[in-house]
Amino acid sequence: MHQFPDAKAVVRALAPDEPVILNRPQAAARAARFFTSNFPGKSLYAVKANPSPDLLQILWDNGVTHYDVASIAEVRLVRATLPKATLCFMHPVKTARAIAEAYHTHGVRTFSLDTIEELEKIVLACCDEAGNPAEDLSLCVRLRVSSEFSELSLASKFGVDLADAAPLLQATRQHCDALGICFHVGSQAMTPFAYVQALERVRAAIVDASVTVDIIDVGGGFPSSYPGMEPPPLEDYFDVIFRASESLPISYSSELWCEPGRALCAEYSSLIVKVEKRRGDELYINDGAYGALYDAAHVEWRFPVNALEDDLIEGTAEFSFYGPTCDDADFMKGPFMLPSDIQAGDYIEIGMLGAYGAAMKTAFNGFGAAEAFEVADEPMESLYRGDRVDPRSSDNVVSLR
């Protein structure tokens, strides 16, 4: 893959009519090293955030050995890309055929669940040809926790309620070599306290069930930095999680896991788009709600933007975007701050799209084509460079003391 110095160099060389994805391997490598060096346990990359084989290889080369896969397609992809990786099938609802293939063909030994029915399905699917149950399973019961401190909730679809957790934990304990409890505080958790609250619920579940727990998986939710969403340092999250987990009544040999997705890959990619038309403060661009900008349209996520023309001299103004399809829903409210003299034919770089952006592109209405190139410059935002100013005031530090 050809590498350019930055987005402006791509525009000068190609003047592209289609969107262009810019990948920064160095940013993903740095994020991987940060997690593997600083999180006090195992870091499982949540593949759904960006399943690019190139990205998977970068993460592996920089110390990420465990991967959170949520479908049999992701199992096959990661196993083909990384034959020695440890795969954990963490979707709580799976088909029996997917479980059996994952276990018998791809060597998956870790599965999550949130019902007795799913437990029974896993146990049966992992039996050998003689009908003998597997003795090497690690089973993680997903507990429902609050998403109140996160930008995107993940509290309603999965997870057993605390009131119902004890019998499920007790039943699961009978069928596994290692028992885990997992949860997800929601995407883009803006305070470490989200994990403190969730781990208190884990404590209650363990006490109620009186079982030995071997794995505590705090899931994902680790944030990245976006306009209007500047989180505390990730070290604060790690410290709070470690101290809260250390006080849990769990096995002396227990492991602490996490499942970062966004935090590992958001800085990996950005996108060059072309302005096709301007109507007042609305810019018609060639990517949108059915492409890499799904979150900008559907949850009004604000991404950093940068105009790539050298002749724009006026101050910034607020703009919204329309994508290229014929659908009125292909609209991104923003506001996106760009020079007020931007016009049709100009180019914009939209940053922090490595998480979910490229992974959610479709070909709806005949759009969706995009070339990809590597660039050598820094991402627009970063939690890992070491030059970021802590956005908190000193009296907002979370403490368990």
| Topology of the domain comprising 25-265 | TIM Barrel (3.20.20)
Per-residue burial over 100-114, b if 16 or more Cβ lie within 10 Å, else e, is bbbbeebebbbbbbb
pLDDT at 308: 96
| Topology of the domain comprising 3-22+267-375 | Lyase, Ornithine Decarboxylase; Chain A, domain 1 (2.40.37)
Q: Is the Cβ–Cβ distance between 23 and 349 less than 8 Å? A: no
pLDDT at 212: 96
CA Rg, the chain, in Å?
22
- Domain segments of the chain: what residues? 3-22+267-375, 25-265
Low-confidence stretches of the chain (pLDDT < 50) are: 394-401
CA atoms within 13 A on the CB side of 178: 21
**What is the spatial distance between Cα 277 and Cα 322, in angstroms, rounded to a whole number?**
9
Of 376, 365, 375, 361, residue with least CA distance to 19 = 361
pLDDT in tens, 342-375: 999 999 999 999 999 988 999 999 999 999 999 9
Q: Is the Cβ–Cβ distance between 226 and 191 less than 8 Å? A: no
With a threshold of 0.75, does the pTM exceed it? yes
**What is the spatial distance between Cα 142 and Cα 259, in angstroms, rounded to a whole number?**
13
Helix 72-81 with 53-61: angle, nearest 10 deg? 60
Peptide bond before residue 233 is cis, with ω within 30 degrees of 0? no
Neighbours of 53 (CB within 10 A): 12
